[in-house]
Amino acid sequence: MFQYFYHERIRKAVATFGTIFNDIHVQRTAKNGSIIDQTKVPLAYAPKDKYLERIRENPSLVDNTKVALKLPRMSFEITSLAYDPERILPKNNNYNKAYGTSTTHSNKMYSPAPYTIFFSLNIYAKLQDDALQIVEQILPYFNPQYTLTLKPFSGFEDIKEDVPITLQSVSFQDDFEGSLEQRRTIIYTLDFGMRVNFHGPIRQSKIIKKTTTDVFIDKTTLLTSGADSDGLYVKQITTPNPTNAQPFSDFGFTTVTEYYGDSSQWKHIFN
């Protein structure tokens, strides 16, 4: 029943979410309004407790420029995944995509499973103004959601999918412990929900290159109509023209109609 496939949906979701917040800066200005310093806020995928524990054990990290970790900075992590029944589609819905230049096969993709990935973005700062600058650069873009367009499948660059990211809550924490001389850590936590679709394996299916339509007569007139013994009255066979046409090329159709018995009254319909 199961077969191996990997579309990297969660990995791409994490990379996409982080990309949104990887170019935020904090400025410090003089009284006359001139910029004294501008710092790009580092961003990493890591739990909040990891940074808090390191800051508590090494208070000098908040303003010691000789170490790798200093404030302000940000981190984010996945907190949970939840099924989203509001976006469910019929399971047998599918769409086909041409298989390269093949004239015999195409790729078939069935309806995806809709899920919401919940992220937590944590902002750490030793100064309230630093934290407020970061928060204010984020909030206006989520009113309440920010939509990105992604490519869910590698190798299918023309297939695109809209991914809404919704800001669900904002919370504040002044993490101060110890003596009055100890530095404090101001933390803002922003919770987001990203709506993604998990697609199953891409299957290959044959391209239909010939259709046959049979028209039968009802049994009450079968004996007097001149139809064959099975009740077949008209047969139509349709093929592409040219027969080696590719799925998305410009081509027409050739239709051959065969009549059985006394079917003159039907010819004006099928011709």
Residue 241 has pLDDT above 90, yes or no: no
Backbone phi, then psi, for 249, in 5-degree steps?
A: -85, 170
Name residue, tokens 């010691």.
64
Q: Which residues contact 79 (CB under 8 A, 6 or more apart)?
A: 118, 119, 120, 191
Q: Mind listing the pLDDT tens digit for each residue in 154-170?
A: 777 778 899 999 999 99
Question: Could you say which DSSP state residue 222 is in?
Answer: H
The pLDDT of residue 98 is 67
Kindly indicate the confidence band of residue 182, based on its pLDDT and cuts at 50, 70 and 90.
Answer: low
Query: Do residues 75 and 134 touch, judged by C-beta distance below 8 A?
Result: no
Which comes out higher in pLDDT, residue 232 or 20?
20
- The mean pLDDT of 135-139, rounded to a whole number, is 95
The fourth-level CATH superfamily of domain 9-77+115-191 is Myoviridae tail sheath stabiliser (3.30.2000.40)
Query: Do residues 63 and 80 touch, judged by C-beta distance below 8 A?
Result: no
Query: Do residues 87 and 111 touch, judged by C-beta distance below 8 A?
Result: no
Q: Mind listing the pLDDT tens digit for each residue in 95-130?
A: 777 665 666 677 888 889 999 999 999 999 988 999
Query: Do residues 95 and 45 touch, judged by C-beta distance below 8 A?
Result: no
Q: How far is CA 151 from CA 113, 157, 192, 240, in A?
A: 16, 6, 21, 32
- pTM score: 0.71
Residue 231 has pLDDT above 70, yes or no: no
Take residue 207 and report the two structure tokens written for it. Answer: 């391209």
**First CA to last CA distance, the chain:** 47
Name the residue among 164, 167, 169 with its Cα closest to residue 144: 167
Name residue, tokens 């041409």.
98
Residue 68 has pLDDT above 50, yes or no: no
Residue type, 36: I
Which secondary structure element, helix H or strand E, spans residue 202, and what is its range?
A: none
Which comes out higher in pLDDT, residue 231 or 105?
105
Q: Mind listing the pLDDT tens digit for each residue in 192-202?
A: 999 999 998 88
Which comes out higher in pLDDT, residue 232 or 259?
259
